[in-house]
Amino acid sequence: MRKLLILLAVVACVLLIAPLASSQILTGTIKSTVDTNFMVGNIQLPAGDYTFSFDTATGRMYIHNVTTLQTVSVFTRDVVETAPTNDKLVFRQDGNKRVLHQVWSEQAGHVHDIVHGTEVKELAQK
């Protein structure tokens, strides 16, 4: 009887914890080499190899430099009207800064548009 109670307790814990854990899973990882330094918000990142991961539950994108191990996270909006046929990073020049504005994800089937502060101009054209 005691073993049955322990088994039921374990099953109940798994059923309660699984939904919480799944919301923390990063999806749709994109790998890319960026050839020049660039800005994300007010943070400058060096040229190099990066992975871009997305937490759909929170709307955050994690940008990870494979060489330096630096990770930056930003909020994104999903632009579902655009269905990318490949993965692509969209940069715009803002004064003398190269700013990451969007990450196109074929796997997700939409564009991740980075939420910027007022210090960064939004896309003037597509």
Q: Looking at residue 88, what is its pLDDT?
A: 92
- The pLDDT tens digits of the residues spanning 31-48 come to 999 999 999 988 999 999
Alpha-carbon gap, residue 10 to 6, rounded angstroms? 6
How does strand 38-40 pair with strand 27-34?
unpaired
H or E element, residue 62: strand 60-65
C-alpha distances out from residue 14 to 1, 7, 99, 106, 124, Å: 20, 11, 42, 33, 48
Instruction: Kindly report the number of other CB atoms within 10 A of residue 102's CB atom.
Output: 21
Q: Looking at residue 42, what is its pLDDT?
A: 83
Q: Looking at residue 120, what is its pLDDT?
A: 55
Q: Specify whether the CB–CB gap between 76 and 53 falls below 8 A.
A: no
Tell me which residue of 89, 87, 97 sits closest to 114, measured CA to CA. Answer: 89
Per-10-residue mean pLDDT of the chain, 126 residues long, equals 67 52 61 94 92 88 93 89 87 89 87 75 48
